[in-house]
Amino acid sequence: MPAPRRSAALVLATAVALTAAACTSSSTSSGSAATNPAALTAFTPTARGQLAQVTWNLPTGEPLSLDPAKAGDYSPSTVLSNLCEPLLRLKADYTYGPGLAASWKWTTPTTLVLDLRDDVRFWDGTAMTSADVVASLTRQLDPATRSVNVDALRYVSAITAGGPHQVTVAFKKPDQLFVKTLTNGFGQVSEAAYLKAAGAGYGTAKGGLMCTGPFKLASWQAGESITLTRNTAYWDRTLQPKVENLTFRFITDGSTLTSALLSGQIDGSYEINTATARALAHSSVGHLYQGDSAQTVFLTPTAPTSPLADVHLVQALQLVLDRDAVIRNVYDGAAQELKTFIPSLVWQHGPAASTYAQGYAALPAAPGVDVTKAKALVAQATTKSRSITVAMAAGDQQSLQTLTFLQAGARQIGLDVTIKQLQPTQMSGLFYDPSLRQGLDATIVQGYVEMPDPGSYVEQMTDPGSLFNWVQYRNASVSALLARARSDADPARSAAEYNQAQALFTKDLPILPIAAPDERLFLNDRLSGAPASFAYINMPWAAYLGGTGKGNG
Amino acid sequence: MTSYQLASVVGRRARAARLRRLLRGKLVLVAAGAVVALVVLAAVFAPLIAPYDPNAVDPMAVSQGSSAAHWLGTDDTGRDIASRLLHGARPSLLAPLVVTVGAGLVGTALAVAAAWLGGWWDRAITAVLDVVFGFPGLVLAVVGAAVFGAGLKIAVLTLTIAYLPYVARVVRGSALKERNLPYVAALRMLGLGGGRIVLRHVVPNLLPLVLVQTATAFGYTLLDVAAFSFIGLGAQPPTAEWGLMVAQGAPGILAGAPQESLYAGLAIVVFVVACSLLGAGLSQRLTGGER
């Protein structure tokens, strides 16, 4: 019988383990290997010099599309934020300011006027005008565009050009959230003529892009790499890119990424996981930075029939999951414990920060472990089922660790948690395709709040008929308060209305907040300047990147 | 020295060398058998000898090295690695056992049927086996996981199908030889029916070969089952299974906590080598080297 041909990966892992064992102490503890959480930074030290080439990694893999209308995930947004610019620009502290729109003004409660910069040119030299902005925004109304931000247009009645550099947006009812939506993929501007010519191929490896950002799309070799070159005619003189060529690779395996970063084959990466962070913590080739983040990890039921649609069981699980232990062991301390599932960065530096802070402080403290109380809650649950199948992405060690802790805790109160590992395409698909949620009761979600506003994220899970309201949650007061918060022009009043809604949905929305992980960024010593905050996701982060004078320039 | 004395010395040396070879072969065989027996005993008595519940997490003792409390340390959720290795021996051994026994039984039945019936039966069975032979086990496992979901049962089923042709091909060759031996013709002349000849005479004569095949395959099958679990198509968390343990411990290798992957990997390597040596030894003794 021939030797099996299918075990190379296993043997390799064993060999690596043996080698590693030879090189490491036999006794390790979480403390000694920990990354030792540092103070959070918004920016890495300012870059001094030019760099000919930087190779960057996208840990969540190759983007499916670079069409700004479809960008709502880590990989496409990380690349696109350097190519296509939004009308308003997100800052590292999650506030926002002028971008391609120099200013904006509500002329009536339902009319927004955007004044565009008149010195912006697309990569092909064509001047950006209001026609490009109108085309970029209105195409997202067309179902064929399959925009992930179509909800931003919910209250919009018309988008028209008020002049060559002015755009007027008319609303059916006031919508303050719209302005904040202009900071992400929804507000990114593409050239109208190019959009028309490219059609459905826009943003693909074949169809390409035409935008105004600090970098141009040079090539996209499917399955291999995406390369950007700097835009030497970039309009923002204060943010001229210092990197000539920026190549993205798609390494999703943590061990491979660790080796690539340590060997210098990859210069940097956002979203460094804990195991990689441990290996890089004392590296001599670069620095690991921690920044504020708008990411959130929680457990949510996937159907109204799920046992976890009964809020008693969610609260019971909350009482057996030691979240301090999760933050300490799964994230090495690089995460924050939350009372709700919305990370505070999204409101912390905005105009109504103090009001939001008061609302957050008024929420009941995150509960500690209390098995007796948890058992009592299980007894109160109306649902009879005690088996819960939870989905997670295969290979996501942090989710697996978290769910293993949850599984052990659940066993103490008579709940049987089964972990189902899904392949990445299945996992991302289940958020949009109900058929992929069949047979599941819950899923662990690692997401992020893209806009500097907490209400937008909550609405998607609480509004009847919303895309992510899988349990058919209905609370008229919550919906009414969130709607008022969305339309209120006064930031403090809007925040107060959100706070009232928050006090309600925190009690009855069946969601189990787990943690808000900090942003972790690794930079090779030869480069610096990139933002360390999670705001990079919608910032032209690579334009800040440059040389330090160390290593090969 | 006379030619008699010379012949005597040469003869003594040759006998000594033969003895040494025999002893060495036996020693290896005994050692391999002892390892296999030890692991089987550990699997059977795991609940009695494991110091901890294999799924009991301990947030205060995560990724620890060897100590008096945890002989082989703990994994990234504080579970005792020694206890998980002991309990993990059960699915790690049972799954390949089911595969080898299943593939052995069905493969032998198909091979003997093809050889005995001959003609288009032989051509049809051989053709089907050739088709199955063309699909690597991994492809079958991926298809099985896509249709029925990943899990140890599906991995076992697909591996059994993948291993069938290996067994059937070897056994069919021997069965064809057996069918043409004079004793079969004699039994026919005595008036015995085909079924009786096959079951009472042909199959028992093929048994040593099937046993050797099974023993040799067992180690490889264990490696395959572990590989399937390693890539997420076999055992699912929180099951303690060696391949899955190698995978779960992999992120810790570069982070300075290689113990989970290391010990699970060692268990696989040692057991597979022991099985191979045992299979080779059995082959020598039962079939005189015929494989």
Distance CA A410, CA A375 (A): 10
Which of B239, B201, B242, B199 shows the shortest CA–CA distance to B219? B242
Query: Between A23 and A472, where is the model more confident?
Result: A472
- Type of residue at B204: P
Return the number of CB contacts < 8 Å for A and B: 168
Bridge-based pairing of strands A387-393 and A442-448 is: parallel
Query: What number is the average pLDDT over the span A464-483?
Result: 93
Chain B partners of A419 at a C-beta cutoff of 8 Å? 236-238
> Is residue B285's pLDDT more than 90?
no
Pairing, β A243-249 against β A286-291: unpaired
Q: Which two tokens stand for residue A384?
A: 């009879």
CA–CA distances in Å: residue B132 to residues A383, A402, B127, B144, B213: 47, 40, 9, 14, 19
Tell me the domain boundaries of chain B. 75-271
A160 touches chain B (CB under 8 A): no
Q: Do B65 and A419 touch (CB under 8 A)?
A: no
Q: What percent of chain A stands above pLDDT 90?
A: 82
How close, in Å, is residue A408 to chain B by CA atoms? 7
* pLDDT for res B11: 52
Residue B147: the pLDDT is: 82
* Of A133, A92, A85, the residue nearest A112 (C-alpha): A133
CA angle, B144 then B146 then B151, to 5°: 60
pTM above 0.90, yes or no: no
Contacts of B111 (CB under 8 A, 6+ apart): B125, B167, B168, B169, B170, B171, B172, B175
Tell me what pLDDT residue B14 has.
Answer: 57
Instruction: State the nearest Cα–Cα gap between B121 and chain A, in angstroms.
Output: 24
- Among the ranges A52-56, B163-167, B178-182, B277-281, which has the highest mean pLDDT value? A52-56
Report pLDDT digits (tens) over B202-233: 888 888 888 888 877 888 899 999 999 998 88
Q: B62 and A32: CB-CB below 8 Å?
A: no
Is pLDDT at A23 greater than 60 in this prediction?
Answer: no
Contacts of A30 in chain B (CB under 8 A): 62-64
What DSSP designation does B65 have? -
Question: What are the φ and ψ backbone dihedral angles of A35, each rounded to 5 degrees?
Answer: -80, -5
Tokens of A80: 């696109």
Q: What token pair was written down for A293? A: 């983040």
**Burial state string for B178-212 with b = 16 or more CB within 10 A and e = fewer than 16:** bbeeeebeebeeeeeeeeebbeebbbeebebbbbb
Token pair for residue A226? Answer: 């995406």
pLDDT at B17: 63
Taking CB atoms and an 8 Å cutoff, what residues of chain B touch A329?
Answer: 59, 62, 76-78
Residue of A nearest to B100 (CA): A1
| Residue pair A220/A206 in contact by the 8 Å Cβ criterion | no
Res. A318: pLDDT tops 60:
yes
Q: What is the pLDDT of residues A271-316, one digit of tens each?
A: 999 999 999 988 899 999 999 999 999 999 999 999 999 999 999 9
B220, B224, B261 ranked by CB distance to A17: nearest: B261
Q: Which residue has the higher pLDDT, A193 or B201?
A: A193
Which domains occur in chain A, in start order?
Answer: 295-517 (3.10.105.10)
Chain center to CA of A113: 29
Give the CB-side neighbour count of residue A550, counting CA atoms within 13 A.
Answer: 14
Scan residues 262-291 of A and list those with Cβ closer than 8 Å to B.
273, 275-276, 278-279
Residue with tokens 């990859």: A266
pLDDT at A25 over 90: no
Structure tokens at A450: 């893209």
Per-residue pLDDT averaged across A335-339, rounded? 93
Gap between the Cα atoms of B84 and B93, Å rounded: 14
CA distances to A195, B1, B2, B5, B19 from B13, rounded to whole Å, are 90, 16, 17, 12, 10
Mean pLDDT of A88-96: 96
Q: How confident is the model at residue B287 (pLDDT cuts 50, 70, 90)?
A: low
Residue B125, min C-alpha distance to chain A (Å): 19
Cross-chain CB nearest to A20 (options B63, B150, B253): B253
pLDDT in tens, B4-36: 455 455 555 655 665 566 556 688 888 999 999
The predicted-structure confidence for B182-196, as pLDDT tens digits, reads as follows 888 888 888 888 888
pLDDT of residue A131: 98
In this complex, is the C-beta atom of A22 within 8 Å of any C-beta atom belonging to chain B? Answer: no
- The position carrying tokens 């706070």 is A499
From the list A18, A26, A329, the residue facing B59 with the nearest CB is A329
Would an 8 Å CB–CB cutoff place A438 in contact with chain B? no
Percentage, residues of chain A above pLDDT 70: 93
Residues in chain B closer than 8 A to A2 (CB atoms): 166
pLDDT of the residue at A421: 86
For residue A420, the cross-strand partners are A391
Residue B230: which of A331, A421, A3 has the closest Cα? Answer: A421
Q: What percent of chain B has pLDDT over 90?
A: 51
Neighbour count for residue A361 (Cβ, 10 Å): 10
pLDDT at B187: 87
Chain A residues with beta carbon closer than 8 angstroms to that of B228: 6
A525 or A553: which carries more pLDDT confidence?
A: A525
pLDDT in tens, A243-273: 999 999 999 988 899 999 999 999 999 999 9
**What pLDDT shows up at residue B13?**
64
Residue A26 near chain B (CB below 8 Å): yes
8 Å CB contact between A148 and A450: no
- Decide if A29 and B250 are in contact by the 8 Å CB cutoff: no
The rounded distance, in Å, linking the Cα atoms of B257 and B138 is 30
Compare B203 and A172 and report the one with higher pLDDT.
A172
Least CB–CB distance from A28: residue in B65, B136, B261: B65
B250 CB neighbours in chain A (<8 A) are 13, 16-17, 255
Cβ within 8 Å, pair A419-B238: yes
* pLDDT at site B253: 87
Cα-Cα-Cα-Cα dihedral of B200, B201, B206, B207, to 10°? 40
Between A31-45, A154-168, A487-501, the lowest mean confidence (pLDDT) is in A31-45
Report CB contact under 8 Å: B166, A1.
yes
What is the average pLDDT across A51-75?
93
Confidence of residue B39 (pLDDT cuts 50, 70, 90): very high
Q: Tell me, what's the pLDDT at A86? A: 98
Average pLDDT (A328-346) is 94
- Helix/strand/coil for A24: coil
- Point out the residue among B56, B137, B262 whose CB comes nearest to the CB of A17: B262
Strands A295-301 and A442-448: antiparallel
CB atoms within 10 A of CB A338: 20
CA dist B289 to A384, B19, B280, B281, B286, Å? 62, 19, 8, 9, 8
The mean predicted confidence, pLDDT, of chain B is: 86
Q: What is the distance between the alpha carbons of residues A14 and B263, in angstroms, rounded to a whole number?
A: 9
> What is chain A's mean pLDDT, rounded?
90
Choose the closest CB to B230 out of A1, A13, A329.
A13
Q: Is A166 on the interface with B (CB under 8 A)?
A: no
Write down the pLDDT at residue A374. 96
Contact B237 A32 (CB under 8 A): no
Give the whole-angstrom CA distance, residue A417 versus residue A410: 7
| Chain B interface, best mutation among A14, A26, A251, by max B CB count within 10 A | A14
CA atoms within 13 A on the CB side of A167: 28
What pLDDT, on a 0 to 100 scale, did the predictor assign at position A18? Answer: 38
Alpha carbons A285 and A269: distance in angstroms, whole number: 14
Cα separation, A282 vs B17, in Å, equals 57
Q: Does A84 touch chain B (CB under 8 A)?
A: no
pLDDT digits (tens, 9 = 90+) for B100-120: 999 999 999 999 999 989 889
Cβ separation of B232 and A421 shorter than 8 Å?
yes
DSSP track, A528-545:
E--B-SGGGGGS-GGGT-
B42-60: per-residue pLDDT in tens?
999 999 999 999 999 998 9
Return the sign of the alpha-carbon dihedral for residues A42, A44, A50, A56: negative
CA pair distance A34, A287, nearest whole angstrom: 15
A14 to chain B: closest CA residue: B265
Q: A362: which 2 tokens?
A: 């008024």
Instruction: Please give the Cα distance from B61 to B78 (Å, whole number).
Output: 5
Q: What is the average pLDDT across A397-417?
A: 94
The topology under which CATH files domain B75-271 is MetI-like fold (1.10.3720)
Q: What is the distance in angstroms between the Cα of B81 and the nearest Cα belonging to chain A?
A: 13
At residue A314, the pLDDT reads 96
Partners of A13 on chain B (C-beta within 8 Å) are: 230, 246-247, 250, 253, 261, 265
Q: Write the burial class of residue B135 (CB in 10 Å: 0-12 exposed, 13-18 middle, 19+ buried).
A: middle
- pLDDT band for B288, please (50, 70, 90 cuts): low
Across A18-27, A232-241, A345-354, least confident range:
A18-27
